[in-house]
Amino acid sequence: HPMMRPVQAPASPPRPPNLEELIEAAEARNAPNMLQVCRGVRDEVER
Protein backbone atom coordinates (compact mmCIF):
# COMPACT_ATOMS: atom_id res chain seq x y z
CA HIS A 1 0.00 0.00 0.00
CA PRO A 2 1.53 3.35 -1.02
CA MET A 3 2.26 5.81 1.77
CA MET A 4 -0.24 8.62 2.09
CA ARG A 5 1.26 11.94 1.05
CA PRO A 6 -0.09 15.39 1.97
CA VAL A 7 -0.48 16.17 -1.71
CA GLN A 8 -3.95 16.75 -3.08
CA ALA A 9 -4.32 14.36 -5.99
CA PRO A 10 -6.72 15.15 -8.85
CA ALA A 11 -9.86 13.03 -9.06
CA SER A 12 -8.52 11.26 -12.14
CA PRO A 13 -4.74 11.35 -12.59
CA PRO A 14 -3.29 12.04 -16.05
CA ARG A 15 -2.84 8.87 -18.06
CA PRO A 16 -0.86 7.98 -21.18
CA PRO A 17 -3.08 8.34 -24.27
CA ASN A 18 -2.79 4.65 -25.17
CA LEU A 19 -3.99 3.47 -21.76
CA GLU A 20 -7.61 3.59 -22.91
CA GLU A 21 -6.77 1.27 -25.81
CA LEU A 22 -4.87 -1.10 -23.51
CA ILE A 23 -7.85 -1.22 -21.15
CA GLU A 24 -10.28 -1.87 -24.00
CA ALA A 25 -8.07 -4.67 -25.33
CA ALA A 26 -7.71 -6.23 -21.89
CA GLU A 27 -11.45 -5.91 -21.30
CA ALA A 28 -12.23 -7.63 -24.59
CA ARG A 29 -9.80 -10.43 -23.77
CA ASN A 30 -10.49 -11.02 -20.11
CA ALA A 31 -12.81 -8.69 -18.20
CA PRO A 32 -12.26 -10.31 -14.75
CA ASN A 33 -8.60 -9.28 -14.88
CA MET A 34 -9.43 -5.58 -15.16
CA LEU A 35 -9.19 -5.01 -11.41
CA GLN A 36 -5.66 -6.40 -11.42
CA VAL A 37 -4.73 -4.29 -14.43
CA CYS A 38 -6.06 -1.13 -12.78
CA ARG A 39 -4.24 -1.98 -9.56
CA GLY A 40 -0.99 -2.50 -11.45
CA VAL A 41 -1.34 0.79 -13.30
CA ARG A 42 -2.13 2.66 -10.10
CA ASP A 43 0.92 1.13 -8.39
CA GLU A 44 3.15 2.22 -11.28
CA VAL A 45 1.76 5.76 -11.18
CA GLU A 46 2.07 6.15 -7.40
CA ARG A 47 5.65 4.89 -7.17
- Look at residue 28 in the predicted model and tell me its pLDDT: 76
- Look at residue 26 in the predicted model and tell me its pLDDT: 76
pLDDT in tens, 2-44: 666 666 655 666 666 788 888 788 777 765 555 677 677 778 7
- Look at residue 43 in the predicted model and tell me its pLDDT: 80
Reported for 39-46, long-range contacts at CB under 8 A and 24+ positions apart, including other chains, are 41/15, 43/2, 45/13, 46/2
Q: Is 39 exposed, middle or buried (CB count within 10 Å of its CB: 0-12, 13-18, 19+)?
A: exposed
